[in-house]
Structure 1
Amino acid sequence: MALASAAGYGVSDFVGGIASRRVAALRVVLVSYPVAMVLLAVLAVVVGGEISHGAILWGGLCGVSQAFGVWWFYAALGSGPISVVSPLTAILVAGLPVGAGLTLGERPGVVATLGILVALVAVVLVSREATDEDVRVHRFTTKVAWLTVGAGLAFGLNFVLIDQAPAAANLWPLVFARMSATVLVVTIAAVSGQLKAPSGVPLKLALLAGVLDTGANVAMLLALHASLLSLAGVLMALYPAATVLLAIVVLRERVTRWQALGMLLALGAVTMIAAG
């Protein structure tokens, strides 16, 4: 489930990033978030679950983190090189849940702990800069760097917060997360004068991003319920592998030998965590 979530996030991030190169990132999220909210609500009704104060509280807080995370992340992907922004964000996304899990008393086995360390190294290697040969030149500027760091912290906190939601609530915390995120995004868009949905290709990409994000979120919650936060979090942080692969194939971004080594280490890390 953690790897399925990583794949979903990786593809969704790529699609959202491409849409954000055509229109403002906030306008993309204005479509993808409501779509995910509706889809998650339908799934939550079908699956069932207890709507408790814990589900509302932790889900709502998670939504705030998600809203800023996706907004900043799409903005960074729209302005900077995708194969650099995505992996750098993942370093923080991986480190925060691991640190939080250990602080909360989680103690993974020796093999799994080694796997976590290998995975962190893999994310760092994958993050080494590649050459962007897209039609436009996308540089890793100071603004893009700040957006990347903010997105990484917000995404990492997202895993930590949703992990605190009661398991008996099933998918309802995800629904409340999307509700609060949608309200926040619409408010920000209204204040900034960007309350306008995209059209044409960007609209289609935003809709696709919303569908992919829904599946990734469901897989994320299932993974967190079935495993330790420190283990599931670091596996889900391997999502740049999918994003970088698509950037290489579609945008002709070049992968460095360090990134290739990082992907190989990621496979080894997954094996060690699963075995541990």
Structure 2
Amino acid sequence: MNAPTTNPTNPARPAPERSTRLPGTFRLGLSRGIVEIRSFVREWESMIFTFSMPALILLFFAVIFDDMFDINMSAVDYYLPGLIAMGLMSVSFQTLGVAVATERDQGGLRRLRGTPLPPASYFIGKTVLVLFLAVGQVALLLGVAVLFFDAALPSGAESWVTVGWVFVLGTVACALLGLAASSLARTAQAASAVIIVPFLLLQFTSGIFVPVPALPEWVFNGAALFPLLWMAQGLRAGFFPDEMASMEVSGSWDLPLVALALGTWCVVGLVVTLATFRWKTRKDG
């Protein structure tokens, strides 16, 4: 009986091992961001209210206040930068703060923390959502202003660069402020008072509806502690002609001060968020 032989030219190959490497934090964050966007879009009532409110205010102001003020500028052109700033804070500070507080109260954050999803991926996902909402908000406001009222847009590359960095710094600062403020709300119902009420007050004290020179000094000084006033001032610098700087409190756009204020809020918001963010409610321990 012959012994079995092996073919040296065709050795047995080991079965290929399946890769067990998980996707990276950034990739998981992008996937989480897509989920966040889909979830937001499905709530069409909230989506319509979030996007339409600044545009509706712009339409009302265009009809009511046009030719009322002697500033050689239409009401749409005057209010557009401030309403863009308001819209950016709405989709970052307000929307994010209320959403995170609701997720925490309903146990969504606690359950998510028990999954392999890295915490950083959760915040990347929220960043993707905020950027999506911010770009959509600005596009809608500019579209309404240009298509219906022939609004004047920034005229040069330098003005657009100013609008760009104010957009980025302001949105990041307000988003971090919203994350930090979400931890102040004990319940989802309390989030409306904790987040929306201060936001409404800031709209009337930050030069959005009322011209900055008309504000009492103590009101202006209080509003200057928060990013909305500086966002509005930076956007006015990008949209308005240079001679309109005389209407600011200091008589100039003070763009270095705007950058410093918004950059400081980005740092402060990040530090406060890292120090105070909670995955569980206080009643859960």
TM-score, length of structure 1 as denominator length: 0.33
The TM-score with structure 2 as length reference comes to 0.32
Question: Which is higher, the Rg of structure 1 or of structure 2?
Answer: 2
The structure, 1 or 2, with the larger RCO (C-alpha pairs under 8 Å, 6+ apart) is 1
Higher helix share: 1
